Amino acid sequence: MRRVVGWMLRGGSRAPAGSVAGASAAGMGGAPETPDGARRLVRDPVCGVHVAEVLSIPLREGGEVVHFCSKACRDKYAASANPQKFAANG
């Protein structure tokens, strides 16, 4: 369990030798990484969930991009009369 958690905290880029998870994660590819090798997490302003930026659902709001964990959260944010109220969530 400790090895799996450690692997996840390191970004999953280096799996233990012989690991099935490492073999499947290496095949996924395409995930942009920060200069230190970690994947970037973004926070959903509606529910507060952190999600990998490459898996998030973006919405361009004014001059900025807001990221969501699901279409339901994106739609709830877009339908709100005051979407700025979600910015203070947690």
Predicted confidence (pLDDT) per residue in 9-29, tens digit: 776 555 455 544 444 444 445
Distance CA 15, CA 2 (A): 13
Q: Of residues 74 and 16, which shows the higher confidence score?
A: 74
19: left (phi over 0), alpha (psi -120 to 50) or beta: beta
Q: What is the sign, positive or negative, of the torsion defined by CA atoms of 14, 19, 21, 27?
A: positive
Per DSSP (E only), the strands in 12-56 are 41-43, 50-52
Q: Say yes or no to pLDDT of 59 above 50.
A: yes
Amino acid at 46: V
Does the predicted model carry a pTM greater than 0.75? no
Q: How confident is the model at residue 53 (pLDDT cuts 50, 70, 90)?
A: very high
Q: Which helix (DSSP H) or strand (DSSP E) does residue 20 occupy?
A: helix 20-28
